[in-house]
Amino acid sequence: MSGSLRRGSYNSALLRATAELLPEGMTLDIVTLDDIPLYNEDLLSEAGFPESVQRLRAQIAAADALLIVTPEYNHSIPGVLKNAIDWASRPPEMPFAGKPAAIMGAATGMMGTVRAQQHLRQILTMLNVHVLNKPEVLVAQSREKFDADGQLVDANTRKFVALLLQNLGDWTHVIQRQEAAPTALVR
Ligand SMILES: Cc1cc2nc3c(=O)[nH]c(=O)nc-3n(C[C@H](O)[C@H](O)[C@H](O)COP(=O)(O)O)c2cc1C
């Protein structure tokens, strides 16, 4: 998922670029957040969560691993992303729990979302998501890394994204073995 809703988003372009860099055997399903309402328990009905939230939760639950691409807004993650995570964090099913994940982000400034990614890691720890540590994909000065059509054209960034995906695949196997073991951590 990408934490930006705008059409020309560098973060959504970064997410789309992963489709070209996936290792063999890995597939990408993009989750959209534009129809997720603001978190409000009054929206819960007898049918449960709002339909768009149910879809989001089901997509997270079905994924072997998660890839979250976040912009940085005022040194943190955008409300759009936090809101979606909050909806998906609620019981009863806890779709995030125990999932392997990788994060990355693109910013127009020099810092490449490093502060937002630190906040995102902190949030995901609460949800018992197992976030990959390396490589850190911090796409700084994003205007120079994408062409006018939103294609990721920076060779170095493509190399880091490909490594992140490779490591996420390996990490997913490690976590799956751990979760299947009798000593798996309490959720
Ligand atoms: C409300 C807001 C706050 C922002 N705060 C930061 C920030 O703290 N650090 C940063 O590097 N960029 C910041 N930016 C600039 C974003 O990096 C830039 O708009 C980026 O393109 C957003 O991601 P997107 O292209 O995927 O929409 C901010 C942008 C907005 C709209």
What percentage of the chain carries pLDDT values higher than 70? 97
The predicted structure's pLDDT at residue 183: 67
Q: Indicate if ligand 1 lies below 6 Å from the C-beta of 108.
A: yes
Average pLDDT over residues 20-24: 97
Average pLDDT over residues 25-51: 97
pTM value is: 0.96
Question: How far is ligand 1, taken at its centre, from the CA of residue 10, in Å?
Answer: 10
Tell whether the model's pLDDT for residue 187 goes beyond 70. Answer: no
Question: How far is ligand 1, taken at its centre, from the CA of residue 35, in Å?
Answer: 21
The predicted structure's pLDDT at residue 102: 98
CA–CA distance, 84 with 16 (Å, rounded to integer): 19
Q: Indicate if ligand 1 lies below 6 Å from the C-beta of 75.
A: yes
Average pLDDT over residues 111-139: 98
Q: Look at ligand 1, atom 30, and give the residue with the nearest C-alpha.
A: 73
Helix or strand (DSSP H, E) at 105: strand 100-106
User: DSSP assignment, residue 135?
Assistant: S
CA–CA distance, 166 with 26 (Å, rounded to integer): 9
The predicted structure's pLDDT at residue 179: 82
Q: What is the DSSP string of 12-66?
A: HHHHHHHTTTPPTT----PPP-TTPPPP-GGG-BTTBS-HHHHHHHHHHHH-SSE
Q: How confident is the model at residue 135 (pLDDT cuts 50, 70, 90)?
A: very high
Q: Look at ligand 1, atom 17, and give the residue with the nearest C-alpha.
A: 107
Q: Indicate if ligand 1 lies below 6 Å from the C-beta of 6.
A: yes
Structure tokens at 17: 């670029």
Q: Indicate if ligand 1 lies below 6 Å from the C-beta of 40.
A: no
Average pLDDT over residues 138-146: 98
Closest CA to 104 of 134, 144, 62: 134
The predicted structure's pLDDT at residue 184: 59
The predicted structure's pLDDT at residue 145: 98
The predicted structure's pLDDT at residue 181: 83
Q: How confident is the model at residue 18 (pLDDT cuts 50, 70, 90)?
A: very high
Point out the ligand 1 atom lying closest to the alpha carbon of residue 75.
8
